Chains A and B, each alone.
Chain A
């Protein structure tokens, strides 16, 4: 295959990855990694390096729009980033001692188990609005956003402690496996903190950039970030994420949850296959 053919194919694949990732709050590695390793036969180190860059591109590319449209909750995002960054550093520190195949299986298992509560509330639009109290009240973990039909959705977050622990776990897996773990972040916000689905995916999208940036330095210095692979991936993802960010505000919360459930299932199966070699 010629260089320009490789660049064209990766650019097109990345547009799809960026579009999908920006809507469900994940980084796009779920699409990029198997295409690179299985279709192009690229080494997993390069694939993970490209995935790290794709996470940051999906995040920054779509977050500019989500933040401007005030769907992303900046306070909830900032608070939960405490957990993701701390978890990511600890994960990177203990990665040397860990068996990444076993960890991949554990992570996939967690994702598959979390499909159960997700499917049970698949038709739910806006979660019942709990009373803001305790830490969530002190940190003003609440917000509102305007739906496409002009109605305003107001929400209060619950169980910030559980959410933060969820983010530490998400960060740990990010540091250990070189993934964005956006799926886990959305789950923690949706299931534990009772945040509306669209706010969960956009706030996850906002956070994954910082989680990935935390470990990007290591991959860059190691030389796993290959410019030839990263260039079409970054450009395609940025274009796809910008398009996805224009579509999400018009999508309905239950639709976003269904797409998310499918992506989560595919991602979990992919991780099982990768772990089993």
Chain B
């Protein structure tokens, strides 16, 4: 074990454990919220026919469901199953971002300059792509 521990100095225990913990936390939280939403969905629509609910309307995608944050907040306060599932999905989408952000901090704590720059570049590209490009009409064709 002593040898293995020495070989792992390039990948310290603390960093792996912290990254693993963030991923596990994000996954469990999103699974719990999505499970709650699914339960509400089953109670409300469980015995309906799924056909109409799964139809894709190009003019009104999402079956007319509004994906905006204000609609999400309103839906959450009334425990709308779709909104609860969407909230859980957003937590799931945020998990890799949180992992990259945490890695940047951990590389900084190790004073590992090249990797601080690499990680911050990835984080900027990721945030740009997730938060900015959806609102650029060109990307949204």
A residues lining the B interface (CB < 8 Å): 1-7, 40-43, 45-46, 53, 56-57, 59-61, 63-65, 67-68, 70, 73-75, 78-79, 81-82, 85-86, 88-89, 92-93, 95-96, 138-140, 142-144, 146, 152, 154, 209-210, 212-218, 220-232, 234-235, 238
Contact = CB atoms under 8 A, between A and B. Distances in A.
Nearest to B87: A227
Interface residues of B, number: 75
Contacts of A74: 11, 15-16, 19, 103
A3 B134 contact: no
A234 B11 contact: no
A141 to B, nearest CB: 9
A205 B21 CA distance: 17
Interface of B: 3-4, 7-8, 10-11, 15-17, 19-21, 23-24, 26-27, 30-31, 34-35, 37-38, 41-42, 45-51, 53-56, 60-63, 65, 67, 81-82, 85-86, 88-90, 92-93, 95-97, 99-100, 103, 114-115, 118-119, 121-122, 125-126, 128-131, 133-135, 138-141
A225 B89 contact: yes
A18 to B, nearest CB: 11
- By secondary structure, the B interface counts as helix
A41 B12 CA distance: 48
Contacts of A225: 62, 67, 86, 89
Contacts of B82: 227-228
Contacts of A93: 133, 138-139
A73 B92 contact: no
Contact of A60 (B85, B89, B92, B130): B92
A57 B115 CA distance: 26
Most chain A CB atoms below 10 A, which of B47, B48, B92: B92
Nearest to B86: A227
A113 B35 CA distance: 42
A234 B41 contact: no
Contact of A218 (B27, B55, B89, B134): B134
A213 B88 CA distance: 14
B61 A223 contact: yes
B34 A235 contact: yes
A150 to B, nearest CB: 9
Contact of A235 (B31, B53, B63, B95): B31
B140 A60 contact: no
B54 A63 contact: no
A4 B47 contact: yes
